[in-house]
Amino acid sequence: MQLKSCYQGFSSLVLFGCHGVVFFSKRCLLRYFSPLGFWGLVNNAGISTFGETGWLSMEKYEKFADVNLLGSIRTTLAFLPLLRKYKGRIVFMSSIIAYFTLGNGIYSMTKAAIEKFCDALRLEMKKFGVQVCIIQPGNYARSTKIQPPVSAEEIWNELSEEEKAVYNKEYVQERADFFNNILSKGSTNGNEVVDAMVDALMSPAPKARYMVAKLKEKALVFVCALFPTVVMDSVLSYALSKVKLA
């Protein structure tokens, strides 16, 4: 458990989604908090990394799916009976990266999946009076530290021989520099995301989605949502690597 708060006699928790924490937290809630009521759940577990699709192992894909996606589902299912009983709130941490990817497709994949899970859950929970909200932060890498700067040398050393035969060190270095430049421009005002989480839990009329991002980040999402895929592919392809493969 990371955070516990109370609102009008109800309890809310921010939880990690691993098996042990979910089991322990559920037992604690049923034992101590259930008589008071259970107001809300915030699914905030998340990890990130950098790398093109073929650079990452199947084990890494499984780990990311387990933490970023299945962890949130696991926690939600564990506490759903209490949330239905007390007509509570469920808040999920997504990202604007659910709409596009710039070198961290594995992270985008899990966030896009959690968005669809939330869309289904939100509609299904309306009849019980349970409200489901999604927080979509922009680039807050400098405040959350979820993604440290990447090392081209480390990436190259971890590549399989098959991948090294396709790519070259210059390409990997250019991609790493590009990604690190994005990270360096991240906002340090992490309180903006926390404020959105609090509003989602406490507001009498919470939003289905809270996009907490800079104007240019919101504009990029707008282009993704409204323009043909070929337009977005052209924009991102231009922004990404300009180095030729050997």
Closest of 95, 107, 165, 184 to residue 136, by C-alpha: 95
User: How much is the CA Rg of the chain, to the nearest whole Å?
Assistant: 20
Residue 7 among the catalytic residues: no
Q: Which of 86, 99, 107, 167 is catalytic?
A: 107
DSSP string, 3-69: EEEEETTEEEEEE--SHHHHHHHHHHIIIIITTT-EEEEEE---------GGGS-HHHHHHHIIIII
The partner residues of 69 in beta bridges, in order of sequence, read: none
The partner residues of 92 in beta bridges, in order of sequence, read: 43, 134
The residues assigned a catalytic role are: 107
